[in-house]
Chain A
Amino acid sequence: MTVDTFSLFFGLLAIGCWLGTTVIVSGALIRRFGNPNAFETIRFDVGRVALALAWLVAAVTMSGSLYYSKVQGYVPCELCWYQRICIYPMAVILGIAAWRRDTSIRIYAIPVLAISILISAYHSYIQWWPPSSGTSFCSATAPCTEKFVNEFSFVTLPFMALSAAMFMVVLLVAAKSQSEYELPIEEIEVSS
């Protein structure tokens, strides 16, 4: 398989992250401002799988990042490294949290992912519209403005990182804790 295959695969997954984010956020808005009981079953199911899915997104993101740098030899730029610092640990700590069904991880993970989102957004911006003055981001060894990947003319590597981090944040917010995993209970009154 060529790098084009992998780039298309990761590019489609990035778009999938946006679709997932849109669906979850839309559902949450409808429940909050419309019908509070809407999508009850799917909300319950998404809450159950959200932590594990967030870990899966982090693991795939890290794998893709390592594939491009170690297999394809793309040298990570300075901004790429900052995003890696934010996302790589998620592949471990979200796995532990998913195993323990510990949603308190969101207190630690979301701020880190928010930083990653900001860096990725800026990185995507300077790749789409390279600054006309100066070349501090166009160094000889690892240029930040170079688009190694440009699927569909807009899905670049930092855009993939942005999509993954954003989806992880939404999943962490949607995740249900251990106690909330328990099946809904029904009270049956029995005459004594």
Chain B
Amino acid sequence: MSNRPSKSNSASQRVRAASNAGKGRSSNMLWVGIIAVVMVVGVIAVVATRGGGSPGGGAASPSGGTVVPNGNLDNGPVQVKGAGLPQMPTAGPDTAVGQTVPIVAGAQFDGTQLNITGDGQPMVIIVLAHWCPHCQKEVPLVQKWLDEDGMPTDVKLFAVATSNSSAKPNFPPADWLRREKWSVPTIVDDKDNTAGNAFGVSGFPYFLVVDKEGKVVYRTSGEKTKAEFDAILQAARTGQALGA
């Protein structure tokens, strides 16, 4: 409180005077400056983004029949036969284990039909979202492992590209998966995410392990290591959940 006026002992009259009337004016100038800066920022934003379209089309798709086929379907028709699975719980026992997995019929990126069904073979279904950073990290890893070890001959591998939205990053999913040379047969989900919901997806990337009788063995989500991915394939083969 040192800026309080001190009391004078002299027989004098204290007169208060505004010594610096210009200070009120300088505050107004500060406001003018702030508003001007905000307006300049607005003009910069408008000018800098004027005429800016979406990034140009992706590079030419890599050749090779095993990679994601040509086509840029963002959403496809999906049909589900059978009861959908409940969402995977974040904790506690998974009630979907032992439940029969529905058959999902849909379209790939080029519109050709694909049915996700084991038909007496075990299968692993990977559900992906183009905007999910975990999926963006996991897809090239899984593809690398498949390139090194070859596609498993005794376990069917399928994928679902779901939650597709042009308002979200890394769109469209077809460009992304083509870039990664993704070789797993993939269904493009519809706008209601029917396929993803039918498989009980709760987070990405999502792995649904199904035995040869078409029943859920194990479900998991998140990025996986090579050992974990191999264990997922093994769980499908044996019908035994990890650690069981």
Contacts and interface: CB of A to CB of B under 8 A. Distances in A.
A136 interface: yes
Contact of B45 (A5, A74, A186): A5
B65 to A, nearest CB: 31
Interface stretch (B9-17, B94-102, B211-219): B9-17
A143 B131 contact: yes
Contact of A16 (B3, B41, B90): B41
B203 A147 contact: no
B135 to A, nearest CB: 8
B15 A188 contact: yes
Given A187-B15, A191-B12, A192-B12, A138 B46 contact: no
Contacts of B162: 140
A132 B138 CA distance: 10
Q: Give chain B's interface secondary structure class.
A: mixed
B38 A1 contact: no
B27 interface: yes
A146 B133 contact: yes
B8 A189 contact: yes
Contact of B223 (A132, A186, A192): A132
Nearest to B31: A49
Given A143-B131, A145-B132, A8 B45 contact: yes
B37 A16 contact: yes
A72 B133 contact: no
B202 interface: yes
B204 A183 contact: no
A176 B102 CA distance: 66
Contact of A189 (B10, B37, B132, B163): B10
A5 B41 CA distance: 11
Counting chain A CB atoms within 10 Å of each CB, the highest count among B23, B134, B204 belongs to B134
B34 interface: yes
Counting chain B CB atoms within 10 Å of each CB, the highest count among A44, A73, A148, A187 belongs to A187
Interface in B8-40: 8, 10-21, 23-24, 26-27, 29-31, 34, 37-38
23 contacts: A5-B45, A6-B45, A13-B38, A41-B23, A48-B27, A49-B30, A138-B203, A139-B202, A140-B129, A140-B196, A140-B201, A143-B131, A143-B132, A146-B131, A146-B168, A148-B168, A183-B23, A183-B24, A185-B5, A186-B19, A187-B5, A187-B15, A189-B12
Given A45-B27, A140-B196, A143-B131, 18 more contacts: A1-B49, A8-B49, A12-B44, A16-B41, A41-B26, A48-B27, A49-B34, A130-B134, A132-B223, A133-B222, A138-B204, A140-B163, A146-B132, A146-B133, A186-B17, A186-B19, A189-B8, A191-B12
Interface of B: 3, 5, 8, 10-21, 23-24, 26-27, 29-31, 34, 37-38, 41-42, 44-46, 48-49, 52, 90, 129, 131-134, 137, 162-163, 167-169, 193, 196, 201-206, 221-223
Interface of A: 1-2, 4-6, 8-9, 12-13, 16, 41, 44-46, 48-49, 53, 56, 72-74, 130, 132-136, 138-140, 143, 145-148, 150, 183-192
